[in-house]
Structure 1
Amino acid sequence: MAVTLADVAARAGVSAATVSRVLSGNYPVAAHTRGRVLRAVEELEYVVNGPASALAAASSDLVGVLVNDIADPFFGIIASAVQSEIGDRKLPVVCNTGGSPERELTYLTLLQRQRAAAVVVTGSAVEDPEHQAALAARLQRLTEGGARVVLCGRPPMGGSAAGGGTAARGAGAGAGTGTGTGAAETAGAPGGPAPAADGGIVTLAFDNTGGARRLTEHLLSLGHRRIGYVAGPADRTTTRHRLDGHRQALEARGLLADAELLTVHGCAYDRPSGYDGALELLRRGAAPTAVLAANDTVALGVCAALREQGLRVPEDISVAGFDDFPYSVDAHPALTTVRIPLHSAGARAGRLALGREGAPPGGVATVPAELIVRASTAPPHSFP
């Protein structure tokens, strides 16, 4: 017998109207209440119009694109590329989660209810086992209902190696200032849809670890030994993978001793986090001779804080970012960074979502990163 709205309400200990509000996402509901309802939905495998398998026969023309913050260039570029690739074939709907794990799950439930033809989930994943289990269940129901699911810029479900493991390190290996394009990026040539691993979910993981490692190696080659790091939120996969790459490079030079002291985690990947993080690094004692930032926006905040303290970039402290947003080359000085081909990755995600490109072997491809050296990094005044 199909699970009903009343069954969910009874399991969660709330009214049917509250369940409806949570699932619609159009009304304010207390966070703890929403959590109880979503857990009940998960436990009972509730789907509004019957079993998920019935959805395959009647999918819509809707394609959901989940982003953390559409105002962030990282997500805006990917979402724009996905939409351009989809064109007028389907109706793309951008769902802005604001970085909320609960909202991410709610949007996936709503997309399932709307019988979405495909879903593209972008950006970093939250490293919380309970959320990961709930997310995996939502995505599995979507694929069982006939929807194509593409993860773009996050590791594959059930594993954390993508973006930080062997496959990621292999993609673009030895890419100094070159593109580092390897088989990992080109796997899955255009053609008919191919079956994917991981329950039909296709993953385009970014080489965050390899890119961060090469960026730190660049600073080490210039003579820097005290390198500060303003990282992103500690519970995000992208943060961990980029920090892993940075510390791999430090470890190879025997410089891990002060790594914790020289690392600050921001609340977000935004300018205020970079500004506050730079000031915190300066307050901790001996100033670093270089600062790496979680992304280019954070790097601009770092530069602003250093300027206000009377420090010059790169004469006093070098600064580097990540992602190579369009404005990074026009910053003053132009920002050394790591380029992730966000537009081409988003376009590929769009083709995969439409079934216009075959899945890569194993359902996972690693998009390589490219070191871009500009004017914001230079040798320190003196070597230790």
Structure 2
Amino acid sequence: MISKKSTIRDVSQLAGVSISTVSRVLNNREKARTIPAEVRKRVLACAEQLNYVPNANARRVFTHRAGIIGLLVPSHTRMNMHIFEDGHLTRLISGVEAGIENSDFRLLLIFNDKRFMDDREYMSLIQSQNIDGLLVWGAQPSETFWQEPVEAGLPIVFAVTVPGPLEQYNYTINATRAGTRKALELLASHGHRRILQLHETRNAFLERQMDAEIAEFLRERPGITIDVQDIRSSGDEIAVPLFRRPGAPTAVLAYNYSMGVEAYGRLAEAGIRVPDEIEIVSCYSYQSRKSWVSTVVVDDYEIGRTAVKNLQKLIESPDRRLQAEIPFSFFFGQTTRNAADVPTP
């Protein structure tokens, strides 16, 4: 004989409360906080006694929610690497996990591949209630399709990078411009008047943020010159001969930590002493105590945590503009003089 499956009505009758109260206790932790503790305990005890398990489809109909947040990341073909080899992404995911730990949401990983764009999944996933909102990591200015879901008011938060003018989007990003300014001010305070910038072409958003701050800095400091080398177009190697010429740069401003390490190694091989002859500062890194390159350190964990918290607010109230900029820290390594903290490589 097949036993009858318990329903939410059975739980409400046994507990002596309304069906909506049972639903709030079992399906919505936030709203359940307004229910007296004694009532919550009674509902949970009755549900356990009846072996009642909420039906996911019924819950979706009742709450108009899937209980799922999507995390969109570039496919490995677009990144030209295995995505979980990216330390920034793994730290961001840890922050996202912390941000939804005590919520009703679960996380769904989605890849930003050709199908995602061609099938307009950036619209259908939310509109069909497969997910409640989307957290986007790795968006680029070339992705013009983001205008459509944003204009439709769908709950989307961009993390780290933004595909267009900042004022048009909900985002949680690094304080990239402030970090770049910190690196420039440090080199200028050490007397450098000619600096080599190692340029990155892969991440257009961060590159534009840095370039905008550098341009503003140069307008304020007309006595400083910055030469630019596209690190990719020269075989990922710093142009060492440049430092042997009269009036050569006396410092390197590296886009990220890896470029700073590359510069350090190439200059050392050429017999150029760092930091006595050349100082190196990186503008973008998650490294800190294990570093020997002086660097701006971004907090990807906090970006992930804040971004997913703001996304939950958007899901509740879509008519918002939630924009956050997470502060950076600065680590003094062996590649700048007068280092406050010099670890062993």
Which stretch shows the higher mean deviation, 114-123 or 87-96? 87-96
Q: Is the 8 A contact 2:243 2:250 kept in 1?
A: no
- Residue 70 of structure 2 corresponds to 64
- Residue 152 of structure 1 corresponds to 159
- Residue 335 of structure 1 corresponds to 293
**Equivalent in 310, 323, 335 of residue 376 of structure 1:** 335
Q: Is the 8 A contact 1:62 1:117 kept in 2?
A: yes
Q: After TM superposition, give the deviation of residue 160 of structure 1 in Å.
A: 4.4
- Residue 136 of structure 1 corresponds to 147
- Residue 365 of structure 1 corresponds to 324
Name the TM-score, length of structure 2 as normaliser.
Answer: 0.64
Q: Using the alignment, how far apart are the partners of 2:149 and 2:244 within structure 1?
A: 44
Q: After TM superposition, give the deviation of residue 216 of structure 1 in Å.
A: 0.5
Q: Is the 8 A contact 1:329 1:335 kept in 2?
A: no
Which stretch shows the higher mean deviation, 213-222 or 239-248? 239-248
Q: Using the alignment, how far apart are the partners of 2:122 and 2:258 within structure 1?
A: 28
- Residue 130 of structure 2 corresponds to 115
**Equivalent in 196, 215, 240 of residue 228 of structure 1:** 196
Q: Is the 8 A contact 1:226 1:288 kept in 2?
A: yes
- Residue 284 of structure 2 corresponds to 323
Q: Which has the higher contact order (CA 8 A, sep 6+)?
A: 1
Q: After TM superposition, give the deviation of residue 358 of structure 1 in Å.
A: 8.5
Residues 288, 238 of structure 1: CA spacing in aligned structure 2 closer, same or farther, 3 A cutoff? same
- Residue 105 of structure 1 corresponds to 117
Q: Is the 8 A contact 1:320 1:377 kept in 2?
A: yes
What is the SS of the residue equivalent to 1:278?
A: coil
Q: Using the alignment, how far apart are the partners of 1:293 and 1:63 within structure 2?
A: 35
Give the % identical residues: 21
Which stretch shows the higher mean deviation, 55-64 or 245-254? 55-64
What is the SS of the residue equivalent to 1:70?
A: helix
Q: Using the alignment, how far apart are the partners of 2:230 and 2:211 within structure 1?
A: 10
Residues 151, 372 of structure 1: CA spacing in aligned structure 2 closer, same or farther, 3 A cutoff? same
Q: After TM superposition, give the deviation of residue 103 of structure 1 in Å.
A: 6.9
Q: Using the alignment, how far apart are the partners of 1:229 and 1:104 within structure 2?
A: 36
Q: Is the 8 A contact 1:126 1:235 kept in 2?
A: yes
1:263 aligns with 2:228: yes
What does 1:39-78 correspond to in 2, within 5 Å? Answer: 58-68=64-74, 69-78=83-92
Residues 292, 105 of structure 1: CA spacing in aligned structure 2 closer, same or farther, 3 A cutoff? farther
Counterpart residue type for residue 329 of structure 1:
R
RMSD of aligned alpha carbons: 3.7
Q: Mark the runs of 5 or more structure 2 residues left unpaired by the alignment.
A: 1-60, 75-82, 339-345
Q: Using the alignment, how far apart are the partners of 1:244 and 1:293 within structure 2?
A: 15
The number of residue pairs the alignment matches comes to 264
Counterpart residue type for residue 355 of structure 1:
K
